[in-house]
Amino acid sequence: MSDSIRTGCLVLEDGSAFEGRSFGFGASVCGEVVFNTGMVGYPEALTDPSYKGQILVFTYPLIGNYGVPGGHPQNGLSPLLESDRIHTSGLVVCGYSPHYSHWNASRSLADWLNEYQVPALEGIDTRALTKRLREKGTMLGKLLLSEEDLPFHNTNGENLVSLVSPNRPLLHKAGETRIIVIDCGCKHSIIRSLLDRKLTVLRVPWDYNFLEEDFDGVVISNGPGDPKMCSETVIHVQKAMERNYPIFGICLGHQILALAAGASTYKLKFGHRGQNQPCIELATNRCYITSQNHGYAVDIKTLPPDWRPWFTNGNDTTNEGIRHASRPFMSVQFHPEAAPGPVDTNSLFDEFLRML
């Protein structure tokens, strides 16, 4: 291979291959190949722990044109990113812009990818690739950037949450009311949304017995993989429900709350990833545009009688939210904190605040 222009290939488990040019780290990786339909927000997406173990394809054709933002941590949180590192296994784009322009940019996307040893390919027909993933469903894939081949690696049976959850509790002080956040791979914007409302946040590991702590309510965060791998989390949430603590689940947290209630979850054909997903609130028939990143959904037919569907997806009618008929438990499949994306549903944090 040429040192100046390194070539590479994305190979899917169905045997299809897409050749391109490398602009990230020069190593081969395996992962589940998924696509994101957002027009902006690649720094937030790449640092979202929910993408752990996945090779991310951006459908928007131009990526990298505004670089990567800088900024010093505030209250232990990145001010503009969703975690302190890139979590995707690899990146695939149609066109990469090495020349970036933004007042807050501190470096190029390529430099950032190299820092965290994340390979990336450009020059891929991402439209054809996305159509294949939509028609056949999410597939395993491998980014090959050297002569060495790799076997496909299926992470569906692995507990990916354990790889992105903190290994000890972390405290963020802001007010008298104290919230437990079960950090299954929590985006920093969720924490910031709670701190903005003067709530002190204790982030705990996914399997931590938080019931021995002093707290007023519980938020179950987003995270990667199959919610059924988080059996310890489900048990702790069930015990919090028995004590009638206010509970708010987001994304994976929505699925975990449903499991704790006795419902079931299933894997979607290709998931929802982007900032343009329409969700309809069933009680009002009002449509909200939401930011999403998930590959699993709640089977609404398995909900117990005292639970109600809350939101539904306007594209495929899958469930996007549930709430208890009389007790302070609610959850949504989309991301009310957005980051990136529309903030149509940010007021759900205020609704949680009223439940406390």
Q: Name the catalytic one among 87, 172, 272, 335.
A: 335
Q: How many Cβ atoms sit within 10 Å of the Cβ of residue 6? A: 17
Q: How many residues does the chain have?
A: 356
Q: Does 186 participate in catalysis according to the annotation?
A: no
Question: Rounded to whole angstroms, how far apart are CA atoms 99 and 96?
Answer: 9
Question: Rounded to whole angstroms, how far apart are CA atoms 15 and 17?
Answer: 6
Tell me the residue ranges of DSSP E strands in 242-314: 247-250, 264-281, 286-299, 307-313
Among the listed residues 171, 294, 166, the one whose alpha carbon sits nearest the alpha carbon of residue 223: 294
Q: Name the catalytic one among 32, 122, 320, 337.
A: 337
Give 253: exposed, middle or buried? Use CB within 10 Å, 0-12, 13-18, 19+. Answer: buried
Q: Name the catalytic one among 186, 230, 251, 279.
A: 251
- Residues ≥6 apart with Cβ < 8 Å to 238: 260
Q: Does 13 participate in catalysis according to the annotation?
A: no
Q: Does 337 participate in catalysis according to the annotation?
A: yes
Q: DSSP secondary structure string, 193-211?
A: HHHTTT-EEEEEETT--GG
Annotated catalytic residues are 251, 335, 337
